[in-house]
Amino acid sequence: MANTPGLRSKLHQSWGWLLALGLVLTLFGFLILTTPMGVVTASLTTEIWIAAAMVAAGVFQLMHGLRSGDWSHAPWQMLGGAIFILGGILIFVYPTLGLLSLTMIVAATLVAQGITSLMVGGGMTNVGSRRWLILSAVISIVAGLLILFDLPSSAGWTLGTIVGAALLLQGVSLTLLALEVRRSAD
C-alpha cells in the first residue's frame, strides 16, 4: 500500500465533496425507505432503467448483426438483439409483470447465494469468523424465501427496498470515510 499516503492526501483535498456525496446518498436512501410510495417508486424506476438498458443493448446488438456483413452468426446476433428489444418493450408495457420477474430473480439469487455461502462456511472448520458467514447465509436464504412466498405482493417493494438500503449504506460509508480522511490529515 505504498500509494495510500498519496491517495489519502488527494481524498483530503476533496473531502467536502465526498462528504456531500455521502450525505446526499444517505438522504435519498432514507427518503426511499421512509416515504410511503418511495419504495414502490424506486422499484418502478429501477425497472424502467433495466428496460431502457435492454432496449439500448438490443438496438446495438441488432445493428452489429446487420453491419457484420457475411458473418455466419449474424442472424443469431440479430435475433438476440430483437429479443432484448422485445423484452425491454414488454417491461415498459407490462410493468407489473416486469417487477414480478425481477423480484423472482432477486429472491432466487438470494436463496442460491445463501446456499453456496452456507456450503463454504460449513467447510471452514478452523476459522473463527465462519459463524458470521453462516449467519449471513441463513439470513440470505430466509430473505429470499420470504420474498418468494410473498409473491406477487413482494414485487412492489423488493427492488425499491434493495435500492434504498444500498443508497443508505453507501451514503453512510462515504460520509464516514470523508470524516475520517478529514480528521487524519489534521
pTM to 2 decimals? 0.65
Q: What is the pLDDT of residues 134-154, one digit of tens each?
A: 888 898 899 889 989 988 888
User: What letter does residue 155 receive in the DSSP assignment?
Assistant: G
Q: What percentage of residues in the chain have a pLDDT greater than 90?
A: 14
Q: For 62-77, write each residue's pLDDT tens digit.
A: 898 888 777 777 788 8
Query: How confident is the model at residue 183, as a pLDDT?
Result: 81
Dihedral sign for Cα 8, 12, 17, 22, please: positive
pLDDT at 5: 58
Mean of all residue pLDDT scores within the chain: 83
Other beta carbons within 10 Å of 13: 11
Query: CB-based burial of residue 110 (10 Å sphere; 0-12 exposed, 13-18 middle, 19+ buried)?
Result: buried
Reduced to 3 states (helix: H, G, I; strand: E, B; else coil), residue 35 is coil
Burial class of 140 by CB neighbour count within 10 A (0 to 12, 13 to 18, 19+)? buried
Residue 10 C-alpha cell reads as 488527494
Domain range summary for the chain, segments of one domain joined by +: 4-185
Confidence of residue 59 (pLDDT cuts 50, 70, 90): very high
